[in-house]
Amino acid sequence: MARKVRKKDIDKQLLNTIFSLQSEWKQVQSIIDQSMEPTVNGYYQAKALRAQYLFLLREARHRGVNAWKMRK
């Protein structure tokens, strides 16, 4: 039998993914900002990470996930 997945577990996983994408996106953006001549690949990577981050934020809002509530 398949294990029943709880909404709380999925919400925690969603929040962890959002936080990791946010830090990765900010790190890449910082490197681009500090570079004299940023590469095209770095620019596109930052755009892709930003798009993924914003998509997951919208998904979290749609699911009613709140980081403050999940800490308790």
Measured in degrees and rounded to the nearest 5, phi and psi for residue 5 equal -90, 130
Tell me the per-residue pLDDT of 31-43, one tens digit each, with 9 for 90 and over. 999 999 988 999 9
Q: What percent of the chain has pLDDT over 70?
A: 89
- Of the two residues 19 and 69, the one the predictor is more confident about is 19
Question: What pTM does this model have?
Answer: 0.81
What is the C-alpha separation between 50 and 29, in angstroms, rounded?
Answer: 9
pLDDT of res. 54: 96
Measured in degrees and rounded to the nearest 5, phi and psi for residue 36 equal -70, -45
Tell me the per-residue pLDDT of 5-24, one tens digit each, with 9 for 90 and over. 788 889 999 999 999 999 99
What is the C-alpha separation between 55 and 18, in angstroms, rounded?
Answer: 9
DSSP 54-66: HHHHHHHHHHT--
